[in-house]
C-alpha cells in the first residue's frame, strides 16, 4: 500500500520512522516535511484562520518529535490522531469562537495560493459548513474528500471499521446537503 503523502511506500515510511526514532536528524526532517502539508490541510479545514492552522501544525510537529520514541502502530494514524487531539484542545481553550474569517486571511490566501476570488469564497463556505458537523464527521470528510484517502485508509486513521466510516460519511454529506438546500431556499 502506498502512503498518500509524496508516494512513499509503507516500507519506506517505516524505515524513515525507525531512523528518526534512532535520532537521525535528517530522517526526522524528512518525516516532518513528508507530513507537514497533509497535517496543515487537515487542521486548516477545521479551524478559523491560517495563523491558527500554521501554529497547530507546528505544535503537531513538535509533539511528534517529542513522542516519536514511544510511537507504536501505523505512523500516519498516530500523527493524524495527534492533530485531531490538537484541534480538540484548540477549541477547548477558546470555548466559543467567532466563525468570521478576517479580510486579511482572504488576502493572504490569495497571495499564497493564487486562487480566484470565487475559489476562495467557495473554500471559506466549505470550511464554515464543515464546522457544523460533529468532530467525527469533520475528520471523515476532511480525510476522505480533502486529503484524498480511500475509505479503508480513513478507517485506519480514525480507528473505525470501513462500514462505520461509510455511515459517518453518509450522515455528514446528508447534513451538508441539507445545509446547502436550505441556504439556496429550495425544499
Which residues, 6+ apart, have CB-to-CB distance to 170 below 8 Å?
none
Closest CA to 99 of 138, 133, 141, 128: 128
pLDDT band at 111 (very low <50, low <70, confident <90, very high): very low
Q: What confidence score (pLDDT) does residue 154 get?
A: 87
Banded model confidence at residue 101, pLDDT cuts 50, 70, 90: very low
- Cβ contact 3:10 at 8 Å: yes
Among 10-19, 24-33, 34-43, 174-183, which is the least confidently predicted range?
174-183
> Could you tell me if residue 101 is left (phi over 0), alpha (psi between -120 and 50 degrees) or otherwise beta?
beta
Q: Which pLDDT belongs to residue 121?
A: 67
pLDDT surpassing 80 at residue 19? yes
Q: Give the global pTM.
A: 0.65
Mean pLDDT of 15-35: 89
pLDDT level of residue 99 (50, 70, 90 thresholds): very low
The contacts of residue 75 (CB under 8 Å, 6+ apart) are: 13, 14, 17
Average pLDDT over residues 74-97: 81
Residue whose C-alpha cell is 462500514: 163
Q: How far apart are CA 124 and CA 129, in angstroms?
A: 9
Q: What is the CATH code for 132-187?
A: 1.10.10.10
CB 98 within 8 A of CB 105: no
Identify the pLDDT of residue 119. 67
Domain ranges of the chain: 1-97, 132-187
Question: Using one digit for the tens of pLDDT, what is the confidence trace for 116-159?
Answer: 666 666 777 777 788 888 888 888 888 888 888 888 888 888 88
Fold (CATH) for 1-97: Rna Polymerase Sigma Factor; Chain: A (1.10.1740)
Amino acid at each position: 500500500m502506498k502512503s498518500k503523502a509524496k508516494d512513499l511506500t509503507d516500507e519506506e515510511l517505516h524505515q524513515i520512522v525507525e531512523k528518526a526514532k534512532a535520532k537521525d536528524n535528517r530522517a526526522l526532517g524528512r518525516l516532518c516535511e513528508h507530513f507537514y502539508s497533509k497535517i496543515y490541510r487537515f487542521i486548516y479545514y477545521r479551524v478559523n484562520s491560517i495563523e491558527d492552522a500554521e501554529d497547530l501544525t507546528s505544535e503537531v510537529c513538535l509533539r511528534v518529535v517529542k513522542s516519536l520514541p514511544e510511537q507504536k502502530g501505523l505512523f500516519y494514524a498516530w500523527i493524524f490522531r495527534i492533530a485531531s487531539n490538537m484541534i480538540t484542545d484548540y477549541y477547548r481553550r477558546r470555548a466559543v469562537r467567532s466563525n468570521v474569517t478576517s479580510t486579511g486571511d482572504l488576502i493572504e490566501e490569495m497571495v499564497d495560493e493564487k486562487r480566484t476570488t470565487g475559489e476562495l469564497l467557495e473554500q471559506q463556505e466549505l470550511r464554515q459548513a464543515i464546522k457544523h458537523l460533529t468532530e467525527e464527521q469533520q475528520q471523515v470528510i476532511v480525510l476522505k474528500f480533502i486529503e484524498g484517502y480511500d475509505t479503508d485508509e480513513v478507517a485506519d486513521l480514525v480507528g473505525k471499521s470501513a462500514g462505520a466510516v461509510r455511515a459517518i460519511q453518509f450522515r455528514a454529506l446528508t447534513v451538508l446537503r441539507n445545509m446547502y438546500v436550505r441556504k439556496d431556499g429550495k425544499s
